[in-house]
Structure 1
Amino acid sequence: MNYFQLFSLPQQFSVDQTVLSTTYRELQKQYHPDKFVMSADSERLAMMQKSTEINDAYQTLKKSCLRAQYLLFLAGVDIALEQRTLQDVDFLMQQMSWREQIEAFSEDDEDEIETFSANIQQQVNDLEFTIEKQLQAETLEAAADSVRKLKFMLKLQIELDQLEEKLFD
């Protein structure tokens, strides 16, 4: 089943997170395997599978990058497991620069790290906006490239968070 249909949401990049969370809780109440402990084995298995599908759908629709990948998949472009690299030389150079900056940060750079982090978050926001527009315009290859960039940016945010934990905890 289409995840958007499962949650009664329009099939688009922008998702109302409150509606998503509320619907998730309602679906979990309805299909949670604990409610079917006394049921026949086949029904228990079916409810466990349905609950797993609900969880997978929720995690996919909750996160912008996974949601964009899913929308591309529905449109026939599957980038989930691909190993293709970006051909955007400028972005690749920017990646190297960002990684060098992260490696150079020390405990004395708390303000610089905060500014860097804010810049990366703005880049993520800009990419999400771009992806939404590309999906609306059905420029799927461009959207796929933007999702690839977003995946990198989200990994960069994780690395930055790990660095901050290491330096300041």
Structure 2
Amino acid sequence: MNYFELFSLPAIFSIDQNRLSQTYRDLQKQYHPDKFAMQDAQAKLQAMQKSTEVNDAFVTLKDSCLRAQYLLKLNGLDIELEQRTLQDTDFLMQQMQWREKISEFTEDDEDEIDHFNKEIIGLVKDLEAEIEVALQNEQLEVTADLVRKLKFMLKLQVELELLEEKLFD
């Protein structure tokens, strides 16, 4: 089952998050396994499978990176488990600079860390906008490279969050 069809959403990158959440709640009510507790084993199994599918679809569609990967997959380009690395030398150099910057932060750099975090959030939003345009133009390889960059940026955000916890908790 196509996740977009399951949630009655158009198969596009920018989706209505409120509608996604509301449909998720509605589908969970409809397929929650507890609702089938008095049914036979086959009905229970089908409800469990459908509930799992609804959960997987929601997680995928809610997350911009997973949603972009899923759209690529629907268009015949599956990059989920690939080992291919990004070939953009400038971006790779920027990655090294960002990682070095993170490694040099100390507890005295709270304002700098906050500023850097805001910069990364802005870059993520820019990448998401580029992904939307590339998908609209059916530029699958361009989209794949943008998704690879987005994956890195999201990992960088996590690293920054972990650093903040370590330094300020």
Superposition TM-score, scaled by structure 2 size? 1.00
- Runs of 4+ in structure 1 deviating by more than 4 angstroms, as ranges, are none
In 2, Cα distance between equivalents of 1:111 and 1:20: 36
Amino acid at match of 1:35: K
Partner of 2:80: 80
**Which digits, 9 at most, give the CA deviation of each residue in 1:8-51, with x for residues without a partner?**
00110001100000000000000000000110100100000000
Correspondence list, 1:1-169, <5 A: 1-169=1-169
Gaps in structure 2 of 5+ consecutive residues = none
Superposition TM-score, scaled by structure 1 size? 1.00
How many pairs align? 169
In 1, Cα distance between equivalents of 2:10 and 2:74: 13
- Taking every aligned residue pair, what percent have the same amino acid on both sides? 69
Amino acid at match of 1:71: L
In 1, Cα distance between equivalents of 2:112 and 2:97: 15
Cα deviation, residue 116, structure 1: 0.4
Amino acid at match of 1:81: L
In 2, Cα distance between equivalents of 1:88 and 1:43: 50
In 2, Cα distance between equivalents of 1:12 and 1:147: 15
In 2, Cα distance between equivalents of 1:28 and 1:128: 28
**Which digits, 9 at most, give the CA deviation of each residue in 1:84-131, with x for residues without a partner?**
100000000000000000000000000100110011001100000000
In 2, Cα distance between equivalents of 1:156 and 1:79: 20
CA RMSD of aligned residues (A): 0.3
Cα deviation, residue 163, structure 1: 0.2
In 1, Cα distance between equivalents of 2:2 and 2:104: 45
In 1, Cα distance between equivalents of 2:79 and 2:25: 29
Cα deviation, residue 59, structure 1: 0.1
In 2, Cα distance between equivalents of 1:16 and 1:26: 15
